[in-house]
């Protein structure tokens, strides 16, 4: 009979110990040990493995089967998933508390009505709480079955008995297995539970969506192997006090990881936004100094967003820089370029920069827009309202080529913009004729002269 023992393994480097340690002696990580059960079995020779021998076959001998997908009812979500939920796939959905994960999942359960039974397993909320949310969202679906249970063995048995089309587990951190002595939500529990759910649902061809909590760093809580085990990892992002949400795919075995879906949280739940650019710049009525439009890429989708900058005389000896929606270090670097190469002294100015709508964008193509909008606020000179600004800026002040320029220009043209400031190297490669007045620039000084900031 196989013997089992318990070891403690570091989740960062894999170091094993016979007891729990606060600090890993191998990689010096704190609080990284989790309990793992190891089963010792006697090794068998190749010919003693039940008389079976593994025989490899050529890859060309296999026939690729068409992937069976279920549409979620949200075109934005289907876009992120690559066309819909794949039969038998395991999807992990993460996000901060209150961002709208449970609301989105409950709406999906209702929109696939007629496809089969849905088993909603909740370890956080009672049936009454789920029913209140369903009533608020206007959901009345007899195909949705609810199970309030945290014991994963009982959950697995319910999945086998019901054999649903879709299984929802909300959340993975509340489930526990009786085979593991650690508390629910621990690293060892999360890993074992995911393994059991995957084994049951893959064998039955049942699509499963697991909701996971995130840490303060923004990563899904639990061992990193959790993201390797599932087929798709989705993150629901957005500021809690803004209405816009972005669903981003960071792993997808059945589609691209370069797609995003955009939603807006309303009274009736999540509503998809089919034209995000129009929504994000719709409230820009006048043309004040310190405001401009840039085109950023979220996956393969171009988004036009508004940048706002504010410069004012500092009251302290050390000027303050604040960035909302972009990397703080990138802002300070571009301010240094503006001072050194454009001769604009901002050492006595506080600089504040904001991406309107609560979006977070870290694309280098926004560099030139950040520099121009900061200079516009400092000089108190407005930028033309019908102009978009694109370009990556180097440390020597040169404006470098950016990717997917055609998609950005077509989006700007569709929304009625008249002119565009882009890198000269991109302008030379343009093949299509645009209704835009495309201005190619080589450096920061040239861009500021074109707009009248210098």
Residue range of the domain that includes 126: 69-274
Note whether 80 and 152 are same-domain residues: yes
* Total tally of structural domains belonging to the chain: 3
Note whether 190 and 298 are same-domain residues: no
Name which residue leads in pLDDT, 225 or 218: 225
| pLDDT tens digits, one per residue of 328-369 | 999 999 999 999 998 888 989 999 999 987 788 888 999 999
Does 58 map to a domain?
Answer: no
Note whether 137 and 150 are same-domain residues: yes
Note whether 175 and 229 are same-domain residues: yes
Q: What is the pLDDT confidence band of residue 223, given thresholds at 50, 70 and 90? A: low
What residues contact 189, with CB distance under 8 A and at least 6 apart?
A: 175, 176, 177, 180, 182, 183
Q: Answer with the one of 274, 297, 322 that is the final residue of a domain.
A: 274
Q: What is the mean pLDDT of residues 224-244?
A: 82
Q: What is the pLDDT confidence band of residue 443, given thresholds at 50, 70 and 90? A: very high
pLDDT of 449 reads 92
| pLDDT tens digits, one per residue of 75-94 | 999 989 988 999 999 999 98
Does 46 map to a domain?
Answer: no
Please report, rounded to a whole number, the percentage of residues in the chain having pLDDT higher than 90. Answer: 41
Does 56 map to a domain?
Answer: no
pLDDT of 316 reads 80
Report the half-sphere exposure of 282 (CA within 13 A, side-chain side): 7
Residue 61 is classified by DSSP as G
Q: What is the mean pLDDT of residues 303-327?
A: 91
pLDDT of 162 reads 92
Note whether 375 and 301 are same-domain residues: yes
- Sign of the alpha-carbon torsion through 385, 386, 390, 396: negative
Q: What is the mean pLDDT of residues 382-411?
A: 93
Q: What is the CATH number of the domain that holds 337?
A: 3.30.230.10
Does 230 map to a domain?
Answer: yes
Note whether 392 and 301 are same-domain residues: yes
Note whether 79 and 147 are same-domain residues: yes
Residue 378 pLDDT exceeds 90: yes
**Poorest-pLDDT segment among 255-264, 278-287, 378-387, 394-403:** 278-287
Residue 242 pLDDT exceeds 80: no
Q: What is the mean pLDDT of residues 188-207?
A: 87
Contact 304, 369 (CB under 8 A): no
Does 60 map to a domain?
Answer: no
- Please name which of 310, 375, 390 lies closest in space to residue 344, comparing C-alpha atoms: 375
Q: What is the pLDDT confidence band of residue 320, given thresholds at 50, 70 and 90? A: very high
Q: How far apart are CA 271 and CA 336, in angstroms?
A: 41
Residue 80 is classified by DSSP as H
Query: Which residues are registered as beta bridge partners of 349?
Result: 313
Note whether 312 and 249 are same-domain residues: no
pLDDT of 213 reads 79
Note whether 227 and 295 are same-domain residues: no
Name which residue leads in pLDDT, 286 or 19: 19
Name which residue leads in pLDDT, 239 or 147: 147
pLDDT of 238 reads 80
pLDDT of 49 reads 52
| pLDDT tens digits, one per residue of 14-71 | 688 888 889 988 888 888 787 776 655 454 444 455 556 778 888 888 877 777 888 9
For every residue of 210-260, DSSP letters joined together read EEE-B-TTSSBSS-THHHHHSSEEEEEE--TTSSEEEEEEEEETTS-SS-E
Q: What is the CATH number of the domain that holds 125?
A: 3.40.50.300
Does 336 map to a domain?
Answer: yes
Helices assigned H by DSSP within 312-437: 328-342, 367-379, 405-414, 424-428
Note whether 263 and 321 are same-domain residues: no
Residue 298 pLDDT exceeds 70: yes
Helix axes 367-379, 328-342, angle to 10 degrees: 60
Q: What is the mean pLDDT of residues 115-137?
A: 90
Note whether 256 and 301 are same-domain residues: no
pLDDT of 425 reads 92
pLDDT of 312 reads 94
Residue 1 pLDDT exceeds 50: no
What residues contact 90, with CB distance under 8 A and at least 6 apart?
A: 194, 197, 198, 201, 202, 208, 210, 229, 230, 231, 232
Q: Answer with the one of 233, 253, 274 that is the final residue of a domain.
A: 274
Note whether 32 and 94 are same-domain residues: no
Q: What is the pLDDT confidence band of residue 387, given thresholds at 50, 70 and 90? A: very high
Residue 217 pLDDT exceeds 80: no
Does 321 map to a domain?
Answer: yes
Does 106 map to a domain?
Answer: yes
| pLDDT tens digits, one per residue of 144-195 | 999 999 999 999 999 999 999 999 998 888 888 888 776 777 777 888 888 8
Question: Rounded to 10 degrees, what is the CA torsion of 274, 275, 279, 282?
Answer: -150
């Amino acid at each position: 009979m196989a013997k089992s023992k318990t070891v403690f393994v570091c989740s960062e480097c894999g170091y094993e110990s016979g007891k729990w340690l606060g600090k890993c002696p191998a990689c010096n990580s704190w609080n990284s040990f989790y309990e793992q059960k190891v089963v010792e079995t006697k090794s068998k020779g190749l010919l003693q493995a039940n008389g079976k021998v593994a025989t490899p076959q050529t890859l060309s001998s296999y026939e690729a089967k068409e992937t069976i997908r279920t549409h979620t009812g949200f075109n934005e979500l289907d876009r992120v998933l690559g066309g819909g939920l794949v039969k038998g796939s395991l999807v992990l959905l993460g996000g901060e508390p209150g961002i709208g994960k449970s609301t989105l999942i409950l709406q999906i359960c209702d929109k696939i009505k007629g496809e089969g039974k849905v088993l909603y397993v909740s370890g956080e909320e009672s049936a009454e709480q789920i029913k209140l949310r369903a009533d608020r969202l206007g959901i009345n679906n007899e195909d949705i079955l609810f199970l309030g249970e945290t014991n994963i063995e009982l959950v697995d048995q319910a999945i086998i008995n019901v054999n649903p089309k879709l299984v929802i587990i909300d959340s993975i951190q509340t489930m526990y297995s009786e085979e593991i002595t650690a508390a629910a939500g621990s690293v060892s529990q999360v890993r074992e539970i995911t393994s059991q759910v995957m084994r049951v649902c893959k064998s039955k061809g049942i699509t499963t969506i697991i909701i996971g909590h995130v840490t303060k760093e923004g990563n899904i809580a639990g061992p990193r192997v959790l993201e390797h085990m599932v087929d798709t990892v989705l993150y629901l992002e957005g500021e809690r006090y803004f209405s816009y949400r972005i669903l981003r795919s960071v792993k997808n075995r059945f589609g691209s990881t370069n797609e995003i879906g955009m939603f807006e949280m309303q009274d009736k739940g999540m509503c998809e936004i089919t034209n995000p650019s129009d929504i994000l710049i719709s409230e820009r009525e006048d043309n004040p100094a310190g405001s401009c439009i840039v085109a950023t890429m979220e996956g393969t989708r171009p988004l036009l967003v508004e940048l706002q900058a504010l410069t004012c005389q500092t009251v302290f000896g050390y000027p303050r820089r604040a960035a909302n929606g972009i990397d703080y270090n990138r802002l300070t670097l571009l301010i240094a370029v503006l001072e050194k190469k454009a001769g604009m002294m901002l050492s006595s100015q506080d600089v504040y920069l904001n991406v309107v709508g609560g979006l977070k964008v870290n694309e280098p193509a926004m560099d030139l827009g950040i520099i121009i909008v900061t200079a516009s606020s400092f000089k108190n000179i407005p930028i033309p309202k019908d102009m978009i600004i694109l370009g990556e800026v180097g440390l020597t002040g040169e404006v470098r080529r950016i990717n997917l320029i055609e998609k950005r220009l077509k989006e700007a043209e569709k929304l009625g913009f008249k002119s565009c400031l882009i890198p000269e190297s991109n302008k030379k490669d343009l093949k299509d004729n645009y209704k835009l007045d495309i201005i190619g620039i080589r450096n920061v000084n040239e861009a500021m002269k074109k707009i009248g900031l210098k």
